[in-house]
Structure 1
Amino acid sequence: MDSGPVRVMASAGALLLTLTLTGAGGDVPDPTGPPWPSRGLFTTHASGTPVGTERRCTVSEILEPSCGVWWGGSPHENRLEELEHNAGRRMDIVYTWRGIDQAKIPGDRERRILAEGRFVHTNIEARRFTRPGHPAVSYRAILRGEFDSVLRDQARGVAELEAPYFLTFDHEADANKRYNKRGTPQEFTRAWRHIVDIYRDEGADNAIWVWNVTGWEGNLGRLPGLWPGNDHVDWISWEAYNMTGCDLMPNWKHVDSFEDALRPAYEWIQNEGPRHGIDPTKPVMIGEMGTTDIGPRETMRWYTDVPRVLREYERIRAVKVWDSKVSSGCDFRIGANRYARQGFEAAGRDPYVNLPDRVRRLAEHAHRD
């Protein structure tokens, strides 16, 4: 079974930059302050290690930290400032959405987010975002090369950043609304590899490929056929939702905790993944997470419990909240629920999801050396 980073960097082997963290007292940096390259070191250890205790923290060339978890989100209607205000802190990773027909990736918005010191994760949909209604694109069209010139423009745009950039092709390919709709699972994996190979050909070594699925227990049997291969995937990602009362999910009568939601896919990857050629040591990103309103105390606790759960699932190294309203009865916006906002803000203060600024700098330099 092949494994490890999918890109061949200029340096030999996987680059690991190391930081020795030592406590010096102090507080969490002000989330309204300047971008992280000019801010001070967060002096509480990201692992929760007591101040004054040394701990070596590493970050790999694919941005996998050894000392905690990146904290991010997908802002409602691209309102990043509003999300960060409600979260009481800056996001480490911001999720953006583009179509496969858009040559300008990263766009102005992504470049601004990067310039302000955050990472970007862009999902490239198999849809035409340059046309009304964003019609779907078949995987066969991609394999025929109909979008090769656009993809090469994208790849060159990412390559010129000289900064790490998370990318996904057609997220949630296992979902009922996508599975076998835009093409077969085999065509999906071939299209994924085709896109990654184009980016490689154009020198986009800084592209970090995140394979994203729903992670729902009923969809796990679909995952082997959708796996592009260890050499074309850097991170594995799925969602962790509770949708009690969501009008789009009328049969969802129960309540899933954050741990309930992420556990099935995590255990499947660890236990069953190797049989299907999936490397279980790859870092995991919870690509989207959130809960509907399940009551004041319960909603707040759903979010405050997230850092504790993350500590218990060691392969998880990034998590992003889905700060959006899907329908009138299915609202995950942090700012729309007082108790969700308080719980998410409290969770975001936990040291485990507050990686020190120097760790972020090390991540940046990993793609410049």
Structure 2
Amino acid sequence: MIATMAAGCGDGAGAAPKITTTARAGVAPVPPDKGAYFGAWVPEDGAGGPSPSQSPSESASATASPSGKDAGKPGMAPVVGFEQRLGRQLDIVQSYRGWKTEFPGGLEKSVAGGNRYLLLTWGGADTREIVQGKYDDLIARRARAVKALGKPVFLRWSRDMDKSSGRKRVHSAGDFTAAWKHLREIFEREKVDNVAWVWCPTARGFSGADAGSYYPGDDQVDWICADAEPGGDYDYRDLSEAVKLFMQWARGHHKPIMIAEFGVPKAYGPRRAEWLREAAKTLQDPQVKAVVYFNSDEQAANARDRRRAYSVTGDKHATSALRELATTPYFNPRNLPVTSGG
């Protein structure tokens, strides 16, 4: 079943096409009529924890045990703690599971059992082996497990497939699209209708790696996504520059956009708040229907690598700016309650 909606006029700068998805409305996640869902990746292992340079009061606030009915659910304490500092509940909580890892786990069940959407990021495998049927049983088991959750799920399979680091597994754009279609066929065979399929290369891949060639087609994709960190080789780079070519490409497709894993590097120091406020302007685009902040330092090579560390935890000014973004009406389409945060 195809859900169709027009992008809201006056919700942001620029024109956007009529938005369609293959997802079943009311069962799978569909775009909000106006604005964009706000979500985050909050590591369960504390990789996005407080900075060693923060003040004692900031440290106490960042590490205080979260409270509330969801805080005690499996995997939810870091999420609830982040929400309390943000001043609102998340629309989307991201989880990650490797290709052979059983899911849903505790976090996925906790998210699905509440009032948040689950963004399940599922690792990839050798695309040719997938098409050859080597993993059909595994895929079918995962499909049944997702169906059994009984709640809407964003499924982001084999993200960043355009990166050269994954070439041995992905092989080629043609191999990737064939594998994508094979997965969808198995999910359809298992009658899984609570999934919205999120196709997600890197935003950088549109400036030379031909990320668009990995696109399986409008009939195979519900949400077009990009991972959009500024990149560790820039001293400073606005989000608008990081997503520019991706957004130009996406204009040619009648799909809602998700900007996943965007984050402001700690290397930007006192300019982090400024970066986030400019990002809020960029993301208020009528085709952008979901944004997911990457509140983690796990991509950093070591503790001194601040160009790939994105957590705002313990950074008072960056947290305040992210709270401004998250509580802007555009990014709160469900009109969830807002508190002062802290």
TM-score by length of 2: 0.75
CA distance in 2, matches of 1:161, 1:310: 31
Q: Residues of 2 paired with 1:219 and 1:172: CA distance? A: 14
**2:164 partner SS:** coil
Aligned to 1:301: 274
Q: Which amino acid aligns with 2:295?
A: D
Deviation of the 1:206 alpha carbon: 1.1
Partner in structure 2 of residue 194 of structure 1: 182
Q: 1:33 maps to what in 2?
A: none
- 1:226 deviates by 0.8
Q: Which residue of 2 aligns with 1:125?
A: 123
Code of the residue aligned with 2:103 in structure 1: it is I
Cα gap change, 1:152/1:218 in structure 2, threshold over 3 Å: closer, same or farther? closer
3-state DSSP of counterpart to 2:119 = strand
- Aligned equivalent of 1:269: 250
Match of 1:315 among 280, 287, 291: 287
CA distance in 2 between counterparts of 1:15 and 1:226 reads 24
Counterpart in the other structure of 1:164:
152
Structure 1 partner of 2:210? 222
Question: Aligned with 2:165: secondary structure?
Answer: coil
What are the within-5 Å matches in structure 2 for residues 236-251 of structure 1? 236-243=224-231, 249=232
Contiguous gaps of at least 5 residues in structure 2? 13-22, 46-77, 337-342
Work out the number of aligned pairs and report it.
281
Q: Residue 225 of structure 2 contacts residue 257 of structure 2 at CA under 8 Å; is this kept in 1?
A: yes
Choose the corresponding residue for 2:40, options 64, 69, 73. 73
Residue 211 (structure 1) shift = 0.2
SS in 1 for 2:137: helix
Aligned counterpart in structure 2 of residue 105 of structure 1, from 103, 106, 122: 103
Match of 1:150 among 129, 134, 138: 138
| Secondary structure at the counterpart of residue 216 of structure 1 | helix
Q: Deviations over 1:113-132 (max 9, x none)?
A: 12121001111112xxxxxx
The corresponding residue for 2:84 is 85
Q: Secondary structure at the match of 2:149?
A: coil
State the alpha-carbon separation in 2 of the partners of residues 336 and 197 from structure 1.
Answer: 45
- Structure 1 CA distance, aligned partners of 2:182 and 2:314? 41
Q: Greater strand percent: which structure?
A: 1
Which residue number in structure 1 is paired with residue 254 of structure 2? 281
Asked if the contact 2:157–2:199 (Cα under 8 Å) also holds between the matched residues in 1, the reply is yes
- Distance in structure 2 (CA, Å) of the matches to 1:295 and 1:213: 25
Query: What is the CA distance between 1:215 and its match in structure 2?
Result: 1.0
Deviates more, 1:91-100 or 1:349-358: 349-358
SS in 2 for 1:231: coil
Shift of 1:220: 5.0
Q: Please, what is the CA RMSD of the aligned residues?
A: 2.5
Letter in 1 for 2:3: A
Measure how far apart 1:111 and its partner are.
1.3
SS across alignment from 1:177? helix
- Partners of 1:175 and 1:293 lie apart in 2 by 24
What is the CA-CA distance between 1:338 and the residue it aligns to? 2.6
- 1:136-190 Cα distance to aligned partner (Å, 9 max, x none): x321221222221121111112223332110011100011212454422211111
**Alpha-carbon distance in structure 2 between the residues aligned to 1:162 and 1:84:** 24
Match of 2:94 in 1: 95
TM-superposed deviation, 1:219: 4.5
List runs of 5+ in structure 1 lacking aligned partners: 1-7, 17-45, 49-58, 127-136, 244-248, 274-279, 359-369
309, 328, 349: which one aligns with 2:327: 349
Match of 1:54 in 2: none
